[in-house]
Chain A
Amino acid sequence: MTIDEILDMLYGTLHTTGIFNFQWNVIIMWGIGCLFIYLAIAKKFEPLLLLPIGFGIFIVNFPLVPLMGFSHGHPQLLQVFYRYGLQWEVIPCIIFLGLGAMTDFGPLIANPKTLLIGAGAQLGVFITFTGTVLVGFTLKEAASVSIIGGADGPTTIYLTQHLAPQLLGANALAAYSYMALVPLIQPPIMRLMTNAKERKIRMRQLRPVSKQEKILFPLVTVGIIALLVPSVIPLMGMFMLGNLMKESGVVARLTDSAQGSLMNIVTIFLGISVGATMQADKFLSWKPLFIFSLGLVDFAVCTIGGIVTVKIMNLFLKEKINPLIGSAGVSAVPMAARVSQVEGLKYDRTNHLLMHAVGPNLAGVIGSAAAAGMFIAMFD
């Protein structure tokens, strides 16, 4: 064997390694991936999602890794997760099934007027749409970016996958990041939008809700949504199925699976698939930067929208609503409701707003799904 042959072999072997195919832009993506892993582990920011997303970003940005491509026509590992989980819009719907099985709609049923707060809090979604178009996004991209303000991860993923799949990674990451930052973003806005007297408003204790009402709620809701916004029924239908399973009390095993193991399994696939979509050559552009900044504005305007809606409602109501629960109209369940409780306690240590804030919080989930349905109907 000659030296040339040995060198050729060595050269051929080197060609199959990642080192030889290295590109500098992947270093930025490693940094982004590690940042989200750090935020998940050290800061506990939405760790269930940011950890697998961060790892997905990290691992998929190594050269030649057989993860998101095709080998001999067959999809590779993460490509399979992505295709059948996200592209087919399965995972967000299964997550909604689990969420439904975890949710107690009692506070919303006891005080149904808080539904309007969930609608008012979608203000940012529609305002950000305009700003996003102005920046140069297409209408479909603008719709998918603007839904971030609804602070509902599965809905954001569902809509983005439907309208602008190329923005999936950035949108999902922005949505979950801002959901984790709710305790930092919302309180200054809440203080700015309310006065001391309003923050001390006491609300009457919620009435007890019968089991029959709780069983009927998912059926009424799914019927109304199916009639008015049919395009979002895959999400809302699964949400209400999960809730019906929980409230019926006759399928405890199914409820346990939906809110436990099934939810955990799909969360792993969701996180790593979303992270895997963020490959350097597709992700590194001006768009993610705009998505993150517009997402923040979106979130802030949605919070304002919820608070303003309460103030408008108070003009007509005998029993006033504490506007601090308006901010919970963005979904981010249950973080946004907890923020209302904490802020309320700062001004009156005996005024517990948590259960009152859960109503608009759940209404926000339905409201953001309705807004997503409006966008899907607009483009389909």
Chain B
Amino acid sequence: MKRYLSAFIVLLLAFPVCSGAEEFLEAPVISGVHGFVKTDSRLEMKTQLSHDEVVSFYRRALKDFENIKFRDWKDATYIEDDGKMPWHSITISKGEGQETSIIIVKDNWTWIIGTLILRYIGVFMVLMVLFLGMSISGRVISGFVKRIEGRKETVTV
């Protein structure tokens, strides 16, 4: 009986969070939020719920979707969709204040193109560092080898 009762209480507590959930670009929106700043591509809102409560809400709401990942950053939890959802990311702040801010951003080409350019530059950077590493180590070793060979020649003479 206790088990049923506690399950009922949990359900009751979860009800305000789960029920009446609206959507923005098919991303679930917690009810009871305020401080809306809404455009076609972005929704910002605030809630009295804690960061952990908001994250657990989204974990439950998105559990059936593939290609969704949760990244735990220092000052926010970042939920990203790598699939075909109309939204791209949900950022849940870890602010110290009483309110938690949630930002939902529309899936956009700016992100894709931006990340691709950065990663292409990244490949250049990796090989550039390797180039520098090889040039420096090459010079050091060449000098070292020449010095040893020079000594050998002196000894032979």
Complex Cα gap A132–B115 (Å) = 15
> Does A213 sit at the interface, judged by CB under 8 A?
yes
> Does B62 sit at the interface, judged by CB under 8 A?
no
Chain B: residues with Cβ within 8 Å of the partner, total of 31
> Does B126 sit at the interface, judged by CB under 8 A?
yes
Q: Are A130 and B129 in touch, CB under 8 angstroms?
A: no
B112 to chain A, nearest CB (A): 6
Known: A133-B112, A140-B82. A119 touches B134 (CB 8 A): no
On chain B, the residues within 8 Å of A126 by CB distance are 116-117, 119-120
Complex Cα gap A141–B122 (Å) = 21
Complex Cα gap A267–B105 (Å) = 45
Q: Are A366 and B145 in touch, CB under 8 angstroms?
A: no
Known: A139-B82, A212-B145, A379-B82. A115 touches B138 (CB 8 A): no
Residue of chain B at shortest CB distance from A136: B84
Q: Are B119 and A123 in touch, CB under 8 angstroms?
A: no
Other-chain residue from B117, B126, B130, B141 in contact with A216 (beta carbon distance below 8 A):
B141
On chain B, the residues within 8 Å of A140 by CB distance are 67, 82
Other-chain residue from B82, B122, B128 in contact with A374 (beta carbon distance below 8 A):
B122
Complex Cα gap A225–B119 (Å) = 15
On chain B, the residues within 8 Å of A113 by CB distance are 131
Complex Cα gap A229–B130 (Å) = 12
Q: Are B135 and A112 in touch, CB under 8 angstroms?
A: yes
Complex Cα gap A133–B115 (Å) = 14
Known: A112-B138, A138-B82. A371 touches B131 (CB 8 A): no
Complex Cα gap A316–B28 (Å) = 53
Q: Are A129 and B145 in touch, CB under 8 angstroms?
A: no
B63 to chain A, nearest CB (A): 19
Which positions 64-110 of chain A face chain B at CB distance < 8 Å? 108-109
Can you spell out 12 A-B residue pairs with CB atoms less than 8 angstroms apart? A112-B135, A116-B131, A119-B123, A138-B83, A220-B133, A223-B133, A224-B129, A225-B130, A229-B122, A374-B122, A378-B115, A379-B69
On chain B, the residues within 8 Å of A210 by CB distance are 141-142, 145
> Does B125 sit at the interface, judged by CB under 8 A?
yes
Which positions 252-283 of chain A face chain B at CB distance < 8 Å? none
On chain A, the residues within 8 Å of B135 by CB distance are 112
Other-chain residue from B83, B125, B130 in contact with A221 (beta carbon distance below 8 A):
B130
Complex Cα gap A113–B132 (Å) = 9
> Does B31 sit at the interface, judged by CB under 8 A?
no
On chain B, the residues within 8 Å of A123 by CB distance are 120
On chain B, the residues within 8 Å of A108 by CB distance are 134
On chain B, the residues within 8 Å of A138 by CB distance are 67, 82-84
> Does B124 sit at the interface, judged by CB under 8 A?
yes
On chain A, the residues within 8 Å of B145 by CB distance are 210, 212
Which positions 81-130 of chain B face chain A at CB distance < 8 Å? 82-84, 112-113, 115-117, 119-120, 122-130
Q: Are A371 and B141 in touch, CB under 8 angstroms?
A: no
The 10 closest A-B pairs by CB, nearest first: A374-B119, A112-B134, A119-B127, A115-B127, A119-B124, A139-B82, A370-B126, A126-B120, A126-B116, A115-B131
On chain B, the residues within 8 Å of A139 by CB distance are 67, 82-83, 112
Q: Are A220 and B67 in touch, CB under 8 angstroms?
A: no
Q: Are B141 and A367 in touch, CB under 8 angstroms?
A: no
> Does B137 sit at the interface, judged by CB under 8 A?
yes
Residue of chain A at shortest CB distance from B138: A213
Q: Are A212 and B126 in touch, CB under 8 angstroms?
A: no
On chain A, the residues within 8 Å of B36 by CB distance are none
Known: A213-B141, A228-B129, A378-B115. A115 touches B134 (CB 8 A): yes
On chain B, the residues within 8 Å of A220 by CB distance are 130, 133-134, 137
Complex Cα gap A216–B145 (Å) = 13
On chain A, the residues within 8 Å of B130 by CB distance are 112, 115, 220-221, 224-225, 366
